[in-house]
Amino acid sequence: MRVGPDDILDFWFSDRARERWFASDAAFDASVRRLFAPLCFDLDRAPSVDGHPWLDGPEGALALIVACDQFTRNVWRGTPMAFALDTKARAAALHSLDSGYDWVFENEARSLFYMPFMHAESMEAQDLCVALCETRLGEEVSTTRHARAHRDLIARFGRFPHRNAILGRESTPEESEFLRSGGYAPGAKRQAKTSS
């Protein structure tokens, strides 16, 4: 089956998927792999997303960002490949911002255009994310609070300490203590709610 933007958006914005955003759920990860792993592999093999046909409109651009920035974390959870398409996600997000695509959507979907910057180990990208969230989502929404927390980690450590083990990086003593003490670790996903 050839996957299109509507398939991605219908899936990602379904009630079942929404409950599992930013959560660790093996069954949900398996669903994403079954439906979208071939697309993720195709996007990984592509040299870039420049000129990708989905970038011609807001829905397609959002679907491309979800695939590059969210699906990868489900398909390849716990491996370095989980971050393999982050650069492409940021490129799609920058194109979308230049095109004004984020303004087409309400906050819940709009926030996904800013996530690729939140996931970057770069102060420039983190500052952009916080500015976008504050001005386009609101100062006190959950996404903005998480954007500030991500930026604080990059300002403090220059990287996300919770990725060190996955990426084979040695943690500094300060990072090790931070992780041991239960410091903010956006990659340590909460368990999904089970329905009764």
For 76-135, how does the pLDDT look when each residue is reduced to its tens digit (9 = 90+)? 999 999 999 999 999 999 999 999 999 999 999 999 999 999 999 999 999 999 999 999
Of the candidates 64, 69, 63, 74, the residue with the CA atom closest to the CA atom of residue 31: 74
Residue 78 is inside which H or E element, if any? none
Q: State residue 96's pLDDT score.
A: 98
| pLDDT above 90 for 188 | no
**Mean pLDDT estimate for the chain:** 93
pTM for the full model? 0.92
Which structural domains are found in the chain, ordered by start?
1-108 (no CATH), 120-186 (1.25.40.10)
Q: What is d(CA 36, CA 95) in angstroms, rounded to the nearest whole number?
A: 23
Q: State residue 193's pLDDT score.
A: 47
Give strand ranges (E) for the chain.
23-24, 190-191
Q: Which of 19-23, 72-76, 183-187 has the lowest mean pLDDT?
A: 183-187
Confidence of residue 1 (pLDDT cuts 50, 70, 90): low
Q: What is d(CA 89, CA 66) in angstroms, rounded to the nearest whole number?
A: 8
Tokens coding 44? 């990984």
